[in-house]
Amino acid sequence: DEKEKFEPTVFRDTIVQGLNEAGSDLEAIAKFLDATGSRLDYRRYADTLFDILVAGSMLAPGGTRIDDNDKTKMTNHCVFFAEEDHDAIRNYAQV
């Protein structure tokens, strides 16, 4: 049995790059996530995926972001950067 490496930073970089390329269109983001789901192990990296979709990057214990202010490791297409109204948050939740 071969063991796969657990590399959440590589996963983060792949997801963040795709989200940034998809732009602010939530439908394009959903299509990207659906297409990428067959290649990446969302179950294995569920915590990392949740951090990215909610906070825009990986979170360290205590809630601080692990991105060193590197724009290539974070995205603005997440709940924290969404407009502060009910419909916008609902759309992100549906994604």
pLDDT digits (tens, 9 = 90+) for 19-59: 999 988 899 999 999 999 889 889 999 999 999 999 999 99
pLDDT recorded at residue 13: 93
Q: Is residue 73 scored above 70 in pLDDT?
A: yes
Q: Is residue 1 scored above 70 in pLDDT?
A: no
Q: What is the mean pLDDT of the chain?
A: 89
Q: What would the two tokens of residue 92 be?
A: 């992100």
Q: What is the pTM of this model?
A: 0.86
Percent pLDDT > 90 in the chain is 56
